[in-house]
Structure formats: structure tokens, C-alpha cells
């Protein structure tokens, strides 16, 4: 089945490829082709991945100078899981939002932005989700420096 899905995605991204023997099966796509690949997988009667269940961000560290975004997809009618992986430049980690395809991308992309600083272009509300609005830095980046002092928190009773 993965070969059939790869051929669907290759129609919009000729450089797409299968990533190792990962589970779920994973297709690597280019940053620019991601929205088209996602649309094909969402709307094709041969695939119909109707659910985006998770968005995972990975910081490969300053040495590699790359970050990855992995989209975990599921097709309820076919009972099949698939992951789409995009590699980004760590100096400018941004990729097109998939909110227009899957509504669940909204909070999942916000969480990835909040923890890793990966920007999702055309996201309808890209702001912090887990950290306070005034938080500095992105806690899951490999070069993140924890603050030396705790901020004073005033609580009213």
C-alpha cells in the first residue's frame, strides 16, 4: 500500500520518497510540496486520510542545522496510518499550515510552534498555546537556555 501512496504523492512532488522501515510508514516530501501532497492524501478516493492525529516537531540540533515536522495521518475508511515528514532549515523553520485541510492542525501546529518555534505560514491563530504569552525562547530546542531566576508570580486569593 505504501508504494501506491508514494505514487500518488509523487504526482505533486517528484522528490518524495519512503523513509526507511518506519512505523507508521513515512513519506518524506519537500517543504514547498507539502500542502499539495496533503491535499492529494486527504481528497483522493484511493487514500482518503480524513484524520490528522498528531503533528510532531524534531530539532536535529545546531550541528545538523535542520528541524523536521512530522504529520501523523489516519484513514478511517481504509484503517491505515501514514506519516508525512518535512525537513526544514533550522535558521528559518517555517512551512505552510495545513489548517485549511484538517481542522485539527490548528492546535497541533500551535503546540509545535510554542515548543520549537517552527512557524506555520497562513495559520489562522499562531500564538503560544502551552507557555505564557511573554515566555522567551522555545523549550524543546536543543540550544534552549533555562532562565536562571524564576519570575515572580503574584496570586490573588
153 within some domain: no
How far apart are the C-alpha atoms of 58 and 90, rounded to whole Å? 10
73 within some domain: yes
Q: What pLDDT digit, counting tens, does each position of 77-109 carry?
A: 999 999 999 999 999 999 999 999 999 999 999
Cis peptide before 38 (omega within 30 of 0): no
Query: Domain containing 38: what range?
Result: 2-121
Domain count, the chain: 1
Contact 143, 137 (CB under 8 A): no
Determine which of 19-23, 31-35, 38-42, 73-77 has the lowest per-residue pLDDT on average.
19-23
* CATH code of the domain covering residue 95: 3.30.460.80
135 within some domain: no
For the chain, give the mean pLDDT: 92
Query: Residues 121-141: what's their mean pLDDT?
Result: 95
Q: What's the pLDDT at 36?
A: 97
Amino acid at each position: 500500500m505504501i508504494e501506491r501512496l508514494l505514487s500518488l504523492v509523487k504526482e505533486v512532488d517528484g522528490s518524495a520518497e519512503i523513509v526507511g522501515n518506519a512505523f507508521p510508514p513515512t513519506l518524506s516530501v519537500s517543504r514547498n510540496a507539502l500542502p499539495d501532497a496533503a491535499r492529494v492524501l486527504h481528497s483522493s478516493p484511493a487514500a482518503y486520510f480524513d484524520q490528522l492525529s498528531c503533528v510532531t516537531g524534531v530539532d536535529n540540533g545546531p550541528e545538523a542545522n535542520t528541524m523536521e515536522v512530522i504529520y501523523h495521518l489516519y484513514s478511517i475508511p481504509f484503517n491505515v496510518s501514514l506519516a508525512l515528514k518535512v525537513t526544514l532549515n533550522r535558521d528559518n523553520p517555517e512551512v505552510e499550515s495545513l489548517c485549511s485541510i484538517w481542522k485539527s492542525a490548528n492546535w497541533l501546529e500551535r503546540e509545535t510552534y510554542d515548543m520549537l518555534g517552527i512557524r506555520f505560514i497562513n495559520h489562522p491563530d499562531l500564538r503560544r498555546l502551552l507557555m505564557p504569552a511573554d515566555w522567551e525562547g522555545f523549550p524543546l530546542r536543543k540550544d534552549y537556555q533555562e532562565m536562571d531566576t524564576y519570575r515572580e508570580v503574584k496570586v490573588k486569593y
